[in-house]
Amino acid sequence: MTTAYRKIGIIGAMVEEVELLHKHVEKTGAFVKAGIEYTEGLFQGRQVVFCKSGVGKVNAAVCTQLLIEAGVDCVLFTGVAGAVAPSLNIGDIVVSTSCLQHDMDVTPLGFARGQIPYQDTWDFQADPALVELAGSVSEQLFPGRTLKGKVLSGDQFVASRDTVRALYEELNGACTEMEGASLAQVCHMNGIPYVVIRAMSDKADGSAHVNFAEFTVQASINSHAIIEGMIKQL
């Protein structure tokens, strides 16, 4: 793939998710906007800007817009999520084909669950070439443990079997997290390609809080490995 992006934006929500970027990016600059620190540098020889957005959709939306204003021409997300598709195990990878806000709910007015009223789209498609690349890098690193699918985002940590089953049955989600769909929406509004990479830290069920605490570091490492593999080929 030779898309030759000039400047690549990378977002993680939590410290664990950007720790390895801090370690491996050769820093050339930094700036602070809206209280968030953005680090500029070279990663595998490519120009990147990355940041820790903080948790939740508003944080991710603001960071995505500011990265775009800083001149990035694609946005990658690296991080962890709760598995929704029953085939997924902890540590497995989801590559977003699209992202949707599962907590957008105007159903009493007749809109579909997740639908943003009066918009042409609310299931924001990831860039097909980025999905393809992320999928093949992931498959090489973690054979048989990669699922391409819909990432569901909401301002809630999902830790219930009933909720997670509904997310699968009603919305056909692959995983659930708290940032992807806001990043995706902002990218869509700006015409910027994106893909979200998520390694499963938990299964969004009754044990999610315990698993999250135990597996977030390893899952973040898995997700970072895919970003690193992708950057070489972008």
User: Does the annotation count 170 as an active-site position?
Assistant: no
Three-class secondary structure assignment of 194-227? EEEEEEEEECCCCCHHHHHHHHHHHHHHHHHHHH
Report, in Å, the least distance between residue 178 CB and ligand SAH: 4
- Residue found by looking up tokens 């918009």 in the block: 119
Task: State the first-to-last Cα distance of the chain, in angstroms, to the nearest integer.
Answer: 7
Nearest to 227 by CA among 40, 20, 42, 70: 20
- Where does this chain bind ligand SAH (CB under 6 A)? 13-14, 55, 80-82, 157-159, 176-179, 201-202, 204, 208, 212
Q: Which is nearer to ligand SAH, 138 or 201 (CB)?
A: 201
Which single residue brings its beta carbon nearest to ligand SAH?
82
Report, in Å, the least distance between residue 46 CB and ligand SAH: 25
User: Does the annotation count 17 as an active-site position?
Assistant: yes
Q: Which is nearer to ligand SAH, 17 or 127 (CB)?
A: 17
Q: Which of 16, 17, 177, 179 is catalytic?
A: 17
Q: How many CB atoms lie within 10 A of CB 24?
A: 15
Residue 13's DSSP bridge partners are none
Report, in Å, the least distance between residue 108 CB and ligand SAH: 24
Q: Give me the active site residues, please.
A: 17, 202
